[in-house]
A and B are shown apart, each in its own frame.
Chain A
């Protein structure tokens, strides 16, 4: 068996020490194959961003992680800091949510795009040449002039393209996207998404795409993981998840999506999302679930496979959500 591009097994993260001590992730397992686009979907506070950032070894300050987190078989959690830097420069890179905050406002665009390459020892001239090609590939006109511009001279959408160019600079095999379109307006979102998916396919990169938008994830991803309160509650192929969600939370999310073609108003999931720290015994979703039974609040449901889907719901076998 060949090693997977990304394999997270039973990842537990908790904030240690002091009053803020609390668990954040509980037994998260997921994988991304080479060239595969994988969605990680959940509401805010579900732990999807923490999971995504942990792949780069960016854990919250003062937290402890247990489990394993392997990129091409190498465990991030036990890696030397030198190797981790190299991995960040070359193998894995991330597109962050808000380009305005993520790109140093007082340095030039060229400095941002070439930064990782320069840290890896690429000569300035070669790095700038490569940066120009990258900016062109994300659809920035006059890339040479752009290299000398400053972030405040760009719109949010253009700046997110710069961010993508910067993420691709090291030629990564795994691309992490942490809600890359949330900070953008709707028309720009579509453009940025199409750039990301095109480049992901062209360069045969694996991608972990984090979003709260299930429809968006289904549109661009091969498989989708759904997270709730620091745990993965369901995983299956995007197409089947959309057609036949197995977890009541997933079907709740799908029903909450407003639809143009339907006269029916969307149904929100009742209650508010909880974090892992607040989650009661048993299934964290039980309090908001229309199908909850007394047993749901006793034992944490075990994740198991049903018809090719991974589901963590006590009643997954009996419930069919259409």
Chain B
């Protein structure tokens, strides 16, 4: 187990080094001079340009710039935003709670909606199954900005049940404000999780041990819970890990559509004005989330299926 963890952490370190290099380098691959991005197209005196170049180490060779940036990142210093004139770390930290709340809210909706509709489809073959398949097909195929527009027009404009804009004050009000964004964010992923749940449960339903459990007088609901759903959790967990990381990326669209000031919206606005220290930091955050989510999935899998245990087990 310790060996497994060490190997995984080593792998993660390599992944992070490579991706951080790519993230940092991508700014230099973009056409144009980073200094003119930072000035935002304004004409400036040569002295001002020189000062900017000095501040962002643009005169140094690429590898030196990268090393300085990484050195800062490791100590929690992501540099200064060109547009906000603030520490990038502080900018992200201020917006992270909204984004995390949004992701958490959407995650709960996805788990409840995806598991319930997937299980329903697997257990009620026929009309219900087909309805769920069609519904999840539509849900998966709906881009989140379309879902956002649809939800705003129905629930905010026509019915007036939920606000279409803003973060809200206090926990309850924030949750209220985040309902439509979370729904828009969740829609695509609910479909994905429902399909994985359905397929995985159908596979388990056909297994011999499920019939054996029934033959022993175990009530149907217990059979579904302990033998079907329980055994189907492996693929469900794997896809949930991917969904968590995907949610962070998808927030950029939803936060922009609903005017929420979160990390996603920060990414979109920073890309537009080429505020590259912010883009680099948020991109790195996405990578880290993805890697960590997958590590957690890998650590949870042996708890679901003991045959995947990282400890050595013998046969009696």
Q: Are B306 and A152 in contact (CB under 8 A)?
A: yes
Known A85-B217, A101-B209, A107-B226: A150·B306 in contact at CB below 8 Å: yes
The reply on B203 being an interface residue by CB < 8 A is no
Q: Name A97's closest neighbour in chain B (CB-CB).
A: B208
8 Å CB contact of B306 from A90, A106, A116, A155: A106
Instruction: Give the segment of B9-17, B36-44, B272-280, B307-315 that binds chain A.
Output: B307-315
- On chain B, the residues within 8 Å of A103 by CB distance are 209, 212
The reply on B218 being an interface residue by CB < 8 A is yes
- On chain B, the residues within 8 Å of A166 by CB distance are 216
Report the bound CA distance from A106 to B213 in whole Å. 14
Q: Name B309's closest neighbour in chain A (CB-CB).
A: A150
Known A88-B216, A153-B313: A106·B211 in contact at CB below 8 Å: no
Q: Are A56 and B313 in contact (CB under 8 A)?
A: no
- On chain B, the residues within 8 Å of A86 by CB distance are 217
Given A58-B214, A152-B313, 7 more pairs with CB closer than 8 A: A88-B214, A104-B226, A106-B307, A107-B226, A107-B227, A120-B217, A158-B316
Q: Name B230's closest neighbour in chain A (CB-CB).
A: A106
Known A153-B314, A155-B315: A102·B208 in contact at CB below 8 Å: yes
- On chain A, the residues within 8 Å of B227 by CB distance are 104, 107
- On chain A, the residues within 8 Å of B315 by CB distance are 152-155
Interface residues on B, range: 20 to 34
Known A152-B307, A158-B316: A104·B217 in contact at CB below 8 Å: no
Q: Are A154 and B316 in contact (CB under 8 A)?
A: yes
The reply on A237 being an interface residue by CB < 8 A is no
Q: Name B212's closest neighbour in chain A (CB-CB).
A: A102
In the complex, what's the smallest C-beta–C-beta distance from A189 to chain B, in angstroms? Answer: 18
A-B contacts, 6 of them at CB < 8 A, read A98-B208, A104-B213, A105-B231, A115-B216, A119-B222, A166-B216
Proximity bits, B194-236, A CB within 8 Å = 1, else 0: 0000000000000111011111111100100011001100000
The reply on A209 being an interface residue by CB < 8 A is no
Report the bound CA distance from A152 to B211 in whole Å. 20
- On chain A, the residues within 8 Å of B213 by CB distance are 104, 115
The reply on A249 being an interface residue by CB < 8 A is no
- On chain B, the residues within 8 Å of A90 by CB distance are 217
Q: Name A103's closest neighbour in chain B (CB-CB).
A: B209
The reply on B60 being an interface residue by CB < 8 A is no
The reply on A96 being an interface residue by CB < 8 A is yes
Q: Name A150's closest neighbour in chain B (CB-CB).
A: B306
The reply on A93 being an interface residue by CB < 8 A is yes
Report the bound CA distance from A109 to B110 in whole Å. 34
Q: Name A85's closest neighbour in chain B (CB-CB).
A: B217
Report the bound CA distance from A89 to B304 in whole Å. 27
Report the bound CA distance from A251 to B212 in whole Å. 35
Report the bound CA distance from A53 to B207 in whole Å. 16
Q: Are A101 and B215 in contact (CB under 8 A)?
A: no
Q: Are B219 and A155 in contact (CB under 8 A)?
A: no
The reply on A87 being an interface residue by CB < 8 A is yes
Q: Are B208 and A119 in contact (CB under 8 A)?
A: no
The reply on A94 being an interface residue by CB < 8 A is yes
Chain A, 197-215, CB within 8 A of any chain B CB: none
Report the bound CA distance from A56 to B217 in whole Å. 9
The reply on B305 being an interface residue by CB < 8 A is yes
Shortest 5 CB-CB distances between A and B: which pairs?
A88-B217, A89-B217, A101-B208, A85-B217, A116-B216
- On chain A, the residues within 8 Å of B307 by CB distance are 105-106, 150, 152
Q: Are A149 and B316 in contact (CB under 8 A)?
A: yes
Q: Are B207 and A101 in contact (CB under 8 A)?
A: yes
8 Å CB contact of B305 from A53, A106, A153: A106
Report the bound CA distance from A103 to B209 in whole Å. 5
In the complex, what's the smallest C-beta–C-beta distance from B292 to chain A, in angstroms? Answer: 25
Report the bound CA distance from A93 to B304 in whole Å. 29
Q: Name B227's closest neighbour in chain A (CB-CB).
A: A104
Report the bound CA distance from A84 to B217 in whole Å. 7
Report the bound CA distance from A120 to B208 in whole Å. 22
Report the bound CA distance from A98 to B231 in whole Å. 19
Known A102-B209, A107-B230: A56·B215 in contact at CB below 8 Å: yes
In the complex, what's the smallest C-beta–C-beta distance from A51 to chain B, in angstroms? Answer: 15
